[in-house]
Each structure stands twice: as C-alpha cells, then as structure tokens.
Structure 1
Amino acid sequence: MKIDSSKIVLNIFIALLLASCNSIKRVSDEEHLLDKNTIYVNDKVDKTETINNLLYQKENINFLGIPFRLYLYNLARPNIDSIVNSNIDSKPNKRERLEKFLSKKQLNKYVEARIGFNKWLKKTGEAPIIVNDEKTNRTLNRLEAYYFNNGWFNVKVTSKTNRLDNKRATVDYFVETGEPYIVNSLKTKIESPVIDSLYQSSKKESAIKLNERYKTKTFGLEKDRLTSNFRNNGVYHFSEDYVFFEMDTVRTNKKVDVELQIGDRIIKNDDSTRTEPFKIYKIKEVNIYTDYSYLNKDKTIKDSLSVDGYNLYSNDKLRFKPKALTDAVFITPGEVFKDRDRTLSYRYISELRTFKYPNIEYVENPDTTLTANVFLTPLKKFGLEFSAEVSQSNIQQIGLAFNPSILMRNVFGKAETLQLTAFGSIGASKDAANDEDRFFDIQEWGADLMLTFPRIFSPFNTDKLIPKYMSPRSSVSLSTSSQTNIGLDKRTLSGTLNYQWKPNTKVTNRLDLFNVQYVRNLNPNNYFNVYSTSYDQLNEIAQDIGYVGPDENLIIPEQADQFINEVLSDMPPPGLTDDDVQDISYIDERKTRLTENNLIFSSAFSYVRDNRKSLFDENFFIFRGKVETAGNFASLMSNVFGKEKNTNGNYEILDVVFSQYVKTEFDYIKHWDLGKKRVFAVRGFFGIAIPYGNSNSIPFAKSFFAGGTNDNRAWTAYSLGPGSSESNNEFNEANLKLAFNTEYRFNIFDDVYGALFADAGNIWNVLDNVQDPNATFDSFSSLKDIALGSGFGLRYDFGFLVFRFDIGFKTYDPSYPDGERWFKDYNFRNAVYNIGINYPF
C-alpha cells in the first residue's frame, strides 16, 4: 500500500487546527472575549473607518469571518517548558536514559525545539482580546474629543458592555452629537504693521471658511499657512507660536466668533523681556564653504573668491567653478529672506551627488539683514558600486547578473558626474536551440558610459525657459552590449543626449533630444531553431506537397530558406494552395523583420505626473505619456542630398535600412484607499507605433509584448497574442497594445497581504506589413480578441520592498475558436505562477 505523506501531514494539520477552533480556549472564567464593537451615532450604526479607528480595543482579526490567528495562538501550550521537562521527569531515571540514548546536548536541543515552536505559534498567532473597562473608557474619551474637535461641542458619549454566559462580550457605544457649531465671523488683532500687511494680501487663501462647521484642524492648517507665508516673505523671526485664536461661543446660538491674534516679536535677554514689531529681513551675503569638515573647521582659509555677493572659501585650492555652486544655492544676496530657499538648496545640492547632505545656517546682522553660511562636504572623487542578482523566467532556468560601476565626481569643476558601468549576465536556458552541452548558454556583456550635467547642456541660455528651481539635468551616454543566447544573438551600440526637469514636485519632464541605436543580429541562421512554430508550419507544408518525404524534415537553415524562396518565386513547387503561399509569405515577412539589422535615430518627450504625497500615500494617481519619432531627419537629409535607394526602395546608412516611425504610449494608474489596509488599484495602458516612409514595420526593440508578472499574469511574457493567432513562438510582439488591470489588495495579518486581480489586454499588428487577419487590428470588432486573466496572490511587505506571488488563470483566451474561449484552461495545471518584487502597478 502506497502511503501519501503529504496527505498525512495535511490531515494532522487540519486536526490540530480543529482542536484549536474553540475561540475561548485561552479565556479564563473571569474574562470575556471581545466578540464585537458597535458604534451608534444618533441611533444609527456607523461602520466608517474614521470612526472605528478611534476604538482602543478591537476584536480579534478575522479573515472571511474566521479568526485564523486566534486559532493558531490557541494551538500553543501555556508553560510549555514546564510541561516538556515535567514529562521527561515523570518517571525515575527517564532523563538519564534519554541523555544516554540521545546525549545531553541532543536532549536539550529537543526541548528547545519544542519550546521554540510553541513561541512561534504565539508570535505568529494573536492572543484573545479580553474586554477591558479601562480601554472602553479611553475610547469614550477619544470619541468625545473627535466630535468636539469637529464642531459638536455638546456631544454625549456612553457605552454598554454586554457580558454573555459563554465568556464572550460585545461593547456598544452611543454617540449623541447634537447640533454642530458654525464659524460665524473672523476678526483680527495684529500688532505688527508688516504682519498685518502680509495677512491682508493673502487672507483670501485662508483655511478658515465662514458659515462652515467648526473643525479644530482647520485652525492648525491656518497656523501653518500663516507661518509659511510670513517666513517666505522676509519675516525671519516668525514662528507659529505667535498665532493665537480666541473663540467666543457665549450666547451665539451655536455659532463661533473667531479672533485671530498675532502679537509683536518677543525678545528675551538674560533677565528681561521686551517686544518690538516684526521686520522684513534681506540676505546680505552668502558664504559657501566648499570643503567643510568638522576636523578642519579651525584651519586657515587658503583660497577664496567673491561673485555677485557669494563668497566661496576653501581650505585648499578651490576645486569647483563658482557658477556650479552659486547655481546650487537658491539663497540670493540682496533678495528678501525666504525660508523655502533653504529647502530648495538642500534638494538641489543633494541631487548633485557630489556633496554630503549640506548644512545651511543664518546669522543675523545689526542692519536687519542676514548672512547665510552654506557648509558643503565633498564626497570622495571616486566611488565604487557593485550589484548582483539571480533571476528565473520562462526562457531561462536560472540567470546570474552583475553590475560593477565606478563614479567620478566633479569632472570639469561644475559638479558633473561621469559613471562607467559594466554589466554581464549568464543563464541556462530551459530549452536550448543549439546542440551545445554548455549549461550556461545565455550570455550578455556590455558597458555604459554616462556623463551627467546639473544643468541644461546647450549652447543656448535656457535659464528663463527652465529655471534652476526645476532641477534641470542633462545626460550624455554611450553604451554597447553583446548578447549570445539561444536565439539570434545580437550586438548593440547606442548613444543618447537627454534632458530632465521638474516644473513642480508632481511633474517630471524628459526630452531625449537624440537617441541613436544600432542593433546587429549575429546569428540569423538560427531563426527557425528559435521560432519552432514557424518552422513546424513550414515543414508541414513541405511534407504535404512532397517537397520532402513524410518522415523527413527541412534542413535548417539551407533547405528551409530555399523552400521559402522557391514558393515565393515565379515558379513555385506544385501542389501548393493559395493559403499555403499566404502562410509562407507571412513566415518570410516575420523572419525578414526579426533577422534584419536595425538603425534607429529617434527623439522622444516623456511627461509624468505623480500626485503621491509620500511613499505611504494610497490615494493617488500617476499618468505617464510619451511620444517618440524616428528617422525623420535621416530621411530628410537622404532626400535633400539625393541619396539613392536600395532595390526595395529604402534609404540606407552604413548599409543598414534606418527605421522611420512614430510611437506613443499612455499609462494611467489610480489607487483608492478603502481603509483598514485595503486598496483598490486600476491601470490602463495604450501604445501604438506606426511605421512610415523608410519602414514598413517596427524594430523588435521598439515593439510591444503582452503577458508577464507586471502585465497579464495569466500568460508568461511574450506568450500572448498577437490578436487571436495561435502562435507558440518564444517572442510574440506587435505594434499596438491595450492593457487594463484591476487589483483588490487587503491585509490578512501583520505584514501579509492578499490580492484578487483581473488583467485584460492584447497586442495586435496595425498599419504595417503583417497581413495575417488573426494578428491584425482592423476594426473595433478586433476588441473581441482582448484576453482576460484573473487570479489571486499573496504579498509580504518587508518595508523596503514587497515580495509578491501571484497565480493567474486564463479566463478568456482569444486563441481558441469563438464560443470556446471562456474558462477553457481555467485550472491550476494551466495556471501561470508569477514571482515578483513590489506591486505590479
């Protein structure tokens, strides 16, 4: 009889779990398990998260109505160490016999293991929540404070604890709000003329609105607004402590009359205090210490330079050109003091990657001016970095990658950085297309040289168009790579010049002024080994018409290429049908496109708007848009200089047909915070690349694919589409893509989260040289080929990253005939298992 050990383990676990399913197992006779809290506001149950989060004591966490963590906790034995040792000492000489049989060390390890597992059960589980009258009273105080601070000054809050005979209890809270108080009027009493003038000029922006319900937080917001406004308009000594609100609710019929009071500046001496009106301060000068450190703070300055009110000092010879540093400091001599200038300077200097986090201090002068001292500590001239990773995909069993990098700072004296990064990877394919016995048959090597300027690198002055507060950056890069794998192998050479700037904290713009990319396929003869589906189709036609015997195969590449050429010639082999010729034409077109070398001269503009307030904000949207064009300038110059076209009617540069196309992408992500650590997220993507002029197709590197851990998770990367075609190629791609994703995320316990998702989308060919009706988008009727995947997943939040495991099921598969597409392979055997880092969108 065959014993299934996995079933035995599962049955034991279920038995133990059932044994722990008594919720009150660890509740003593004098205690009551908190079963439920209910909050009644004006006799109606309030289930909103805002109100329920005010509870000091909540019932045990449950999932689908079952307190799994409580059950897990109940599996633990109390006082396990005493129980284990008592069991060993229950019989005379038992401990001695066990020590002789196991050894004393092994016996101690056995005891520690039993105790350790018991501790794990307690830590992972959740102890029963016992009703606590003190916490109930604290909840009453918190509820009362909440409603009072939101305008219900006459609120009354009571509670009732219902202790049941089964050692369970419920707690009901009753809130009677009464009528809310309304802000009726706002008067001011401001001592300093300077402050009064600034207030009057900005009072339309006040957070306090008349005839609206009183909210305490509104007055806090107004304090912050006034403090920021005054300190950014020259009032150096102002702080929020000077802002005071006096409320009058006496005989006002539930209305609040507010008086804003701001006194003069208080100046404290050793034994006296005096007041004087606030004044506007200006910046007299800015001192920049370019190589400050605590160890050499007392050294004599050896080099100095003054430029437009900026004084640059160095303990050694000044290594930085003045403009590089003055551009990084937003505090301007002769201008009114603005508190935000210091924040902008901190951000800009940090982004230079040349200095440690700076220190900026103000010194008050007798003439109502300030001197700003900026202390900069340069990082080392050279920096080394190294990273490595291990990966797995549908193409390779295992992959190893490494990226050593060297960084050189302040290359030309203007805080430029030069970074040389080498990259290499080796991998073992799952199904190698060659006959070599090497385990690591996938290799890629290359290097990237990037020079970054903390400004717009241009012969023209762009300061008015893109001022320095937008943190402009320019990057010039040159990279090369060589790839040897189970496919065509290729060598790539590229060069770019791009600009990046941020008009505000939410928007990032990027302009790739030019991007030149050359891709050369090194092993085109291996095509049919990689794209075996195309080969099988070609071979089947050859066998059907007797071009080769029924048990013979076309030899790759010679015989396969020869057969294609003969079929598409003026004298094709006999026995071919029109469909056969059309299918072979499709195969030839795809082979030609994927094996040809590519030369791309492109420019692109990207726009990103991200309205997240912080990394923890779960109520936000992100919009990304990109427009890219390629080949226009090369085509114009070829036409102007009368360059001759090749036999196919295309221009060439260095014997390569350059690509010409326009490509656009739109990506929108929206998150809704549903409370209680629940999030609903959606994503929509549209992309299209249209060839024209010198091209009738899109280069493989610029095409779209579907499937994968961050796309449609019911299909592996490159396995979906195009359209309803039944392609089993390793790499399916096209020039039009639609994608829609939805995901509901929820907390299970602690840092473990669950997710339910649905992913829809596909890729198609459009306006290019592909004629296969199953793969092309020709009308809105093609939308019926949108694939739908659904599934569920688990996430573990480590804080610095999220580990993700998703299972995707093919819910609607367009590769099947109409009427057979729903739930055709909806099972675990055909499911796709995805492992990823962080959320997919």
Structure 2
Amino acid sequence: MKTSLKYTLFFTLLFLYGCSNLKYLEEGEALYVGGKVKVEDSLLSRKERKNLEKELEPLLRPLPNKKFLGLRPKLYFYNIAGEPTKDKGFRYWLRNKVGEPPVLFSQVDLEYNESILQNYAENKGYFKVRTESDSTGTSRNRKVTAEYIVRPGKQYKIKSVKFPSDSSVLSKNIAQLQRRSRLKVGDAYSLDNIKDERERIDTRLKEKGYYYFSPDFILVQVDSTVGKQEVDLIVKVKSETPERSKKIYKINETYIYPNYSITTDSVVIDKSYAEKYKDLTIIDTIKTFNPRIYDRTLYFKKGDVYNRTDHNLSLNRLVNLGTFKFVKNEFRVSDSIDDALDAYYYLTPLPKKSIRVEVLGKTNSANYTGTELNVNWLNRNTFKGAELLTITAFGGMEVQVSGQNKGYNVFRFGGETSLIWPRFIAPFQFQSGSGFVPKTRALIGYEHQERQRLYTLNTFKGSFGYLWKENARKEHQLNLTEITYVSSGNVSAEYRAQIEGTDETPGNPSLARVIEKQLIFGPTYSYTYTNTMRRRRTNTFYYKGSIDLSATATGLIMGGNSDNPKQILGVPFSQFVKLENEFRHYLKLGNDSQLASRIIVGVGIPYGNSKELPFIKQFFIGGTNSIRAFRARSIGPGTYNPNVEESSFLPDQSGDLKLELNTEYRAKLFSIVHGALFVDAGNIWLMNDNENKAGARFSSKFIDELAVGAGAGLRFDLSFLVLRLDLAFPLRKPYLPEGDRWVIDKVRFGDPDWRKENLVFNLAIGYPF
C-alpha cells in the first residue's frame, strides 16, 4: 500500500511538472498571471474599499490564462500541440479549439488600465480619484502580476434633483415622471443611474405618444459646487431637440401587405387592390388571409394615441401566429392629418404547405437502444384564418442489446392529427393582454405498440382545449376534455404465466393491469411559470403544476364502486384526481457554473369506479431524467422488490404517489465540454394496500423508503443539442431490510462484481431538468 502511494505521489508530481508552461516561453518573456487592485483611502470604510476593489478588478485587461485546480490546462494543451502544419487535423484542433495562447506581460498596458479604473471610479462619484500601477515578479519564476493602487477620495452624494418646470406639454409630462425617478436624494452619484433615468423617461414618453423622442434629447446637468462632496442634478430637454420629437402622435391609417417580399426596395400603394376591413387597409390581390385575423391581432385602432406597448404587442402577436416568416413594421407621419402616424405592416408568409422528416436515435438506462422516424405534414393556413393543421405519422423500435430484457423488444407506430386555431373557439369572449395569441387545439391520435414475446397495446386518444400565455413567463393549458382508450391483444403465454405464477414461483397479478382495457376521459389543466430566460439573475425558477380529473361528472350520474365498476360501451371507466407539481431552482455560482435543483411531488387519488390509477396515468421513477442510479421505472412502489427470475423480463413499477428530489452542480470545463456532479433521491407509493406488493402503501415512514443515488457526468454542448453522459451508483436501496438500506460503505469501484451490479450508465439528449 505504501509503495502504491509513493508511485501515486511520483506521477502526480510528474504531471504537475509537465503542466508547467514556463518552459515554453521564449527568452525575455514573462507570463502574465493577473492583476490586483488595492484601494487606499482613509476617508472610506474598509467595507467600501473592499467592495470597490471587487468592482474594479474585473475591468483589468487582458485577462490571464484560465486556471483549473491551480493549473492552466488550456495553455498546456496549446503548448504541447506545437505549431500545426495545416489548418485542420487533431493538432490544429487541440491547439486552437481546446488550447489558448499564453498571455504575456508585454501585452499589458498599465497606463490604459489606470485610465479605465479612473473613469469607472469617477462614473461612480469618486471625482478626485488618483491611480498608479506597478508590476511584481522575478526573472527566475518568469511570472508577473500587475498591481494598481487607487485613491478615490470621498464619494459624492446627490443633494437635490430638479425636473423641468416650464409650461410646455413635454416638460409637464417629464415632470410627472419624477415620482419613480432612479435619481434619489442621498444616493451616491452614478453615471449608470443617469443613463438608466434617461432611458426610463424615454420609455415612459413613448407610452404617451412621443414616437420620435429619444434618450439623447434628455440632458442631466451636474453641479458639484453646491456643497462638500454633494451634487445637484438638473434634468432638462436639450434645446436642439427637433420639433417633431416634442409632439404627441395618434394612429391614423393602418396598411397591411400580407404577401410582402423582403427583396422589394419600396412599396407602392395601389388602391385598386386595396380592401377595407374596419379601420384596416389590406393590399392582398389573392386574398390569402381572412381580414379578421389582423383585427384580432393588432392592438392599434384608428384615433388611438401611439404607445410602445401596443406597438410591440402587435408585432409579437403577428410573429406568434406561426404563419409569417418575416414581420416588418414602420410608422410614417400622415400626409392628411397633423400629428398623426400611418402604420405599415409588411408580412412575408411561410410556405403554406410543407413536410418535415425527423430521424431520432435514443437510449436509456434500461439498456434499450432505438430509433424513431417521424413524418410531419403541415398546412399553415388551412381555412384562411392562420389555422395550423399538422398530420404526423411515426414508427420506431427499441431493443436491448444486453441485459435481462434482451429479446423483449418494443416496436411502435401510429399517427396524430392536430388543428390549432389562433383564437378561442368558445361561447364567451376572451381578450388577451399579452403579445401571445390565445389558441384552440383539437387532436386525435392512434398508437400501436408491440412488446415482443409479451403483448400488444392499441391506444386511441383525443382532446379539445385551449392554450394561452399571460406573458413570456406564465403559460396555461386547459383541455375541456381529454379521452384515452387502451386495449390489448396478442397476450403471450409467457406473460400470462408471469401473472398467474407457477408451482415454483408466485404470480404477479398487478401485471394484468397493463393489458386491461382502459377508458379515461375528463378535463385537464396545467400552469407553467418560468423566469429562467433571465440569465443575469443569480436565482431563477421554473414551476409546473397540473391537475387531471377523470369521469367526475359521469361518476356522479352513474355511481359505481371499485368492487362493481360501471361500464361505458363494455369498458369500465376510470375515476381519479391526479395532481403533480414540479419546482426547479437554478443558482448561478459564476459565469460558467450553477447549482440546479428540482422537487417533484405527485399524488393520484382513485375513487368511485377505481381502486388504483390506470396504468398509463400512474407515476414512475428511475432512469436518465430521474434517479439515474437505478434502471428506468425500476424503483418501488415503497419497499416492494419484485422477485423476477433471470430468464424473465423486468416489469415496470408504478404508483399513485411520487416524491423526487434532485440537485446537480454544473460547470464548464473547456470548450464545449461541461461537467456535472449530482445526487438524486425519491420513490413512488400506492394509496391503498395491495396484497401482491408488500410494503407498497404510503405511510408515515416514507422518508426511510427513499432511494438515493449519486454520480458524475459530462455534457457536450453542440449548440443545436446537448449530448449527456452520466455514470451513477446507488447510495441507498429502499427494498433492503431496515437498517441495511444505506450502502455507502459497500461502494467498491475496484470490484468488477460491484460495478456490474451497481454502476448505471446513462446516454441522453439534453439536461435532465
């Protein structure tokens, strides 16, 4: 053991020496290893000095070579690759894509950095700042650090803020905006705040009809002579502001070109082809669209005061119709009415009909590998109202190359037809105040699935409902009805033997539920909130909640109970309430790292006609996007562990309740390669006792029945997709006896038998959450 340790230390030291990049430097060169800023001023508190140092240091340029665990691997790869002889090949890729050239001290301009630090400090209100710089390093170690000393003086504060007080309409409108000003008495002077205030005033004026106004027409004068380290700020309209920028404009005429070509330099209005619809003038010689879609989409009406909100919402809604490839808009001063604008919308349609073919490859932690072919035919303007008709045909297969389910391959094919209207088809009026068009969707579909050597399933489904967004963060989906009918066929003797059992092995009657006829119908609703698109935020969130109701009204009318279930067309219908909540939190730790966490809580309550949820509505856990240390759908319910012979297939485990918790640390390693460390936990349970599944019912001991796994992975971000490789192993197995469920002490990476039994490899597309 001691000899092994010596060799480990020897090779570690050898590696560290090999990663030394100084030997590659030419004579007289020194490696720049970074800059430091020190704020020295007795007038500032220690906290204020430290905060200013943190703000100033990121401004220094150039940035030194990136470090990882104290080393500079990207520079090392650049050096060992050497000079490539051609612009392709492994050496070129290693040097220019993976590696990075050395940042030399000769590239550092100390005076330039001094001026950057001084300008920044002055923009923050330190008007008497002084800077100086120096370098530290020796010719022996050939590493140089730049050091900057900043003496800022006391920061100036705002003594007063004065808005325009003259009698012009524009000045009065600006003065009314003072209440929410970013410039507040007592705050530190900041040039950024002044810029933000100019933008704020311009944004608010745009809402009042000042179409031609600009932030550049706002002047904020600074008077620093009014007191000791104090300034007066005076907000004014520049004298050179054009007259048209001082006017409030209303909307006059609206012209729409539904077949505009982006290659056209100009548009000539030929009124012989113009069609009037309410306040709109439509130039469409072939009558491509029903004019009512424009009236529903555009917010501006004739006589309305121009405002930027309605301007942007109209554009967003035109884009979100999904019918136009390009949407262009402009406003011109009207020739017939003073202080009025004519609006012009130039719309370039997408091809009305198109076909898309997709070939997918997929794999999962159950060792199934497969492919799928999708053929989609689209009609984007079915009834001339921007309706989207999509007809899809698909087929695929999944096979297990090795493992206990080898030979039990899955083949599936089917089709789906959906029609989306860009409005609500309902007996009531629905007005959306967002830039997203509310939609109505009808869908019908069929899927045939064959589980080789076991059974086949035929699934028919249909739904009718609505989709709408309040804004970019909040989305709703309501299906007034969603119908699913499942029937089985070609059930093999092998599968029936697993259900009924033999003299040597007990049966598993719960497997019969997979091949039972199922009829599910009722409304569903889901709500999604996310602000993950705000990348500058330290904390971002995602939440999705859904409710699924089956046969609630029908059950009240027909009655029924699980011992004597009522039937519709010879099929017992399911009755249940299913709730599911998923919450994600993303904590930004740096520019290239974050901590992602997720909690899923789901519960299904069967009642009336049902004792358990139907199989296709139950919860499952485990797999590539769940608890990655366990095979897909292999955990639970509860502490139940199916005793399956090696010669038979592994059944999917399902439950009425689900709890899952995941956390994952993500960091960029280099180039397109990202790394992750993760821990997953969770389980599923049944609401009621099942004599064939001991330990499956939910109880107060559910915390002690959680499965736990951990692992590490790589993600290859190829921009158009993310390829994910995860390797995980269990830390806690809920099906073991109490007191023996934690198996951390049994982890043996060097033991091939342990690896074969416990290591789970996941290959997937995209992040798990």
Q: TM-score, normalised by structure 2?
A: 0.88
Query: Is residue 653 of structure 1 aligned with residue 626 of structure 2?
Result: no
Instruction: Check if 1:832 corresponds to 2:760.
Output: yes
The 8 Å contact of residues 666 and 676 in structure 2, kept in 1 or not, is answered as yes
Partner residue, 1:685: 600
Residue from 362, 378, 381 that aligns with 1:407? 378
Q: Deviations over 1:256-309 (max 9, x none)?
A: 211111146744xxxxxxx47822211112122233335695595554432332
Greater Rg over alpha carbons, structure: 1
In the alignment, the residues of structure 1 paired with residue 713 and residue 54 of structure 2 have an alpha-carbon distance, to the nearest angstrom, of 25
Q: 1:450 aligns with which of 414, 418, 421?
A: 418
Q: Deviations over 1:484-527 (max 9, x none)?
A: 12343211111111211112222111111110111112244467
Instruction: Report the secondary structure of 1:495's partner residue.
Output: strand
Q: Tell me the CA shift for residue 719 of structure 1.
A: 1.8
1:34 aligns with 2:32: yes
CA distance in 1, matches of 2:52, 2:394: 54
Give the Cα–Cα distance (whole angstroms) in 1 for the partners of residues 562 and 714 of structure 2.
56
Aligned partner of residue 132 in structure 1, secondary structure: helix
Q: Provide, for residues 290-341 of structure 1, a one-character-per-residue CA deviation record: whole Å limited to 9, x for no partner.
A: 333356955955544323321222123x232221121112222121111232
Q: Which residue of 2 aligns with 1:569?
A: none
Query: In terms of mean alpha carbon deviation, does 194-203 or 290-299 score higher?
Result: 290-299
Task: State the secondary structure of the residue aligned to 2:105.
Answer: coil
Residue type at the aligned position of 1:784:
D
Change (3 A) 1:145 1:813: farther
* 1:214-247 deviation line (CA, Å, top 9, x unaligned): 2222122222211111112111221111111111
1:798 aligns with 2:724: no
SS in 1 for 2:639: coil
**Alpha-carbon distance between aligned partners in 2 of 1:303 and 1:635, rounded to the nearest angstrom:** 58
User: Relative to 1, partners in 2 of residues 1:135 and 1:638: Cα closer, same or farther, differing over 3 Å?
Assistant: farther
Please show how residues 623-662 of structure 1 align to structure 2 within 5 Å.
623-639=543-559, 648-662=563-577
Given the superposition, is the C-alpha separation of residues 118 and 388 from structure 1 closer, same or farther in structure 2, using an over 3 Å criterion?
closer
- Spell out, residue by residue over 1:411-447, the C-alpha distance to the aligned partner (whole angstroms, 9 max, x if none): 22221111111111123334799998xxx94321111
In 2, the alpha carbon distance for the partners of 1:153 and 1:796 equals 48
Preserved contact between residue 690 and residue 696 of structure 2 (Cα < 8 Å): no
Q: Say if 1:48 and 1:193 are closer, same or farther in 2 by CA, change over 3 A.
A: same
Matching of residues 195-274 of structure 1 within 5 Å: 195-263=170-238, 266-267=241-242
Instruction: From 574, 578, 583, give the equivalent of 1:663.
Output: 578
CA distance in structure 2 between the partners assigned to 1:231 and 1:383 by the alignment = 40
Quote the offset at 1:662 in angstroms.
Answer: 0.8
Alignment of 1:629-778 (within 5 A): 629-639=549-559, 648-727=563-642, 729-767=650-688, 769=690, 772-778=693-699
- Looking at structure 1, the residues matched to 312 and 413 of structure 2 have their Cα atoms a distance apart, in angstroms, of 42
Q: CA deviation at 1:19?
A: 6.8
1:513 partnered with 2:483: no
Contact 1:603-1:630 at 8 Å conserved across structures:
yes
User: How far 1:57 moved relative to its partner?
Assistant: 3.0
Give every structure 1 segment of 4 or more consecutive aligned residues whose post-TM-superposition deviation is greater than 6 Å.
Answer: 13-16, 43-49, 431-436, 615-618
Cross-structure match for 1:101: none
The DSSP-based 3-state class of the residue aligned with 1:344 is helix
Deviation track 1:122-181 (CA, whole Å, cap 9, x = no partner) reads 222233332236334333333333332223333333333112122222333333343222
- 2:253 aligns with 285
Report the Cα distance in structure 2 between the residues aligned to 1:625 and 1:708, rounded to whole angstroms: 22
The alignment partner of 1:600 has SS state of strand
TM-score normalised per structure 1: 0.81
CA distance in structure 1 between the aligned counterparts of 2:670 and 2:480, rounded to whole angstroms: 49
**1:58 aligned partner, one-letter code:** L
Query: Aligned partner of 1:128: which letter?
Result: P
Paired residue for 1:119?
92
Name the amino acid aligned to 2:224. Answer: T
The answer on whether the counterparts of 1:327 and 1:468 sit within 8 Å (CA) in structure 2 is no
Deviations 1:381-432 (A, max 9, x none): 2121111111122456431211111111222222111111111112333479
Conservation of the 8 A alpha-carbon contact between 1:418 and 1:449: yes
Q: Contact conserved, 1:696 with 1:769, CA < 8 A, in 2? A: no
Range that drifts further, 340-349 or 720-729: 720-729
Partner of 1:609: 529
Q: How many aligned positions are there?
A: 734
Secondary structure of the residue aligned to 2:66 is: coil
Partner of 1:376, secondary structure, is strand
Residue pairs, 1:515-530, within 5 angstroms: 515-525=482-492, 528=495
Q: Kindly indicate whether residue 313 of structure 2 is the aligned counterpart of residue 344 of structure 1.
A: yes
Q: Which deviates further from its counterpart, 795-804 or 399-408?
A: 795-804
In 2, Cα distance between the equivalents of 1:232 and 1:46?
38
Native 8 Å contact 1:190 1:263 kept in 2: no
| Change in CA separation of 1:418 and 1:118 when aligned onto 2, cut-off 3 Å | closer
SS of the residue 1:358 aligns to: strand
What corresponds to 1:5 in structure 2?
none
Percent identical pairs in the alignment equals 30
TM-superposed deviation, 1:528: 3.3
- Residue 448 of structure 2, aligned match among 457, 460, 482: 482
Change (3 A) 1:498 1:158: farther
Cα 1:385/1:708, change in 2 over 3 Å: same
Displacement of 1:834 in angstroms is 1.6
> Which residue does the alignment assign to 1:71?
76
Deviation at 1:825, TM superposition (A): 5.7
Cα displacement string for residues 784-822 of structure 1 (whole angstroms, at most 9, x for unaligned residues): 111221122222222333222222121222222233323
Match of 2:302 among 323, 330, 333: 333
Structure 2 residue identity aligned to 1:137: E
* Alpha-carbon spacing, 1:647–1:330, altered in 2? closer, same or farther (3 Å): closer
SS for the counterpart of 1:427 is strand
> Structure 2 vs 1, CA of residues 21 and 332 (structure 1 numbering), >3 Å: closer, same or farther?
same
**Matched AA of 1:476:** A
Where do residues 400-439 of structure 1 align in structure 2 (5 Å cutoff)?
A: 400-430=371-401
- Report if aligned partners of 1:488, 1:527 keep a CA contact under 8 Å in 2: no
Helix, strand or coil: the match of 2:225?
Answer: coil
Alignment-mate amino acid for residue 220 of structure 1? K
- CA–CA distance in 2 between the matches of 1:31 and 1:277? 57
User: Residues 663 and 284 of structure 1: is their aligned pair in 2 closer, same or farther, counting only changes over 3 Å?
Assistant: same
Contact 1:25 1:74 in 2 (8 A): no
* Structure 2: distance between partners of 1:373 and 1:498: 34
CA distance in 1, matches of 2:274, 2:150: 69
Letter of the 1:184 counterpart? K
Asked if 1 retains the 8 angstrom alpha-carbon contact of 2:157 and 2:189, the reply is yes
435 and 334 in structure 1: CA distance in 2 versus 1, 3 angstrom threshold:
closer
Q: Which runs of 5 or more residues in structure 2 are unaligned? A: 1-7, 41-45, 645-649, 750-754
What SS does structure 1 have at the residue aligned with 2:211?
coil
Inter-partner Cα distance in structure 2 for 1:651 and 1:735? 22
Q: What one-letter code is carried by the residue in structure 2 that aligns with 1:237?
A: Y
CA distance in 2, matches of 1:185, 1:804: 57
**Would you say the 8 A contact 1:192–1:263 is kept in 2?**
no
Structure 1 residue matching 2:220: 3-state secondary structure:
strand
The match for 1:822 is: 743
Residue pair 1:302, 1:314 contacting (<8 A) in 2 also: no
Q: Can you list the C-alpha shifts for 1:23-53, whole angstroms capped at 9, x where unaligned?
A: 3111223122234543334487779875442
Classify 1:141/1:835 alpha carbon distance in 2 versus 1 (closer, same or farther; 3 Å): farther
Q: Distance in 2 between matches of 1:647 and 1:740?
A: 33
Question: What is the match of residue 102 of structure 2?
Answer: 128
Is the counterpart of residue 471 in structure 1 residue 437 in structure 2?
yes
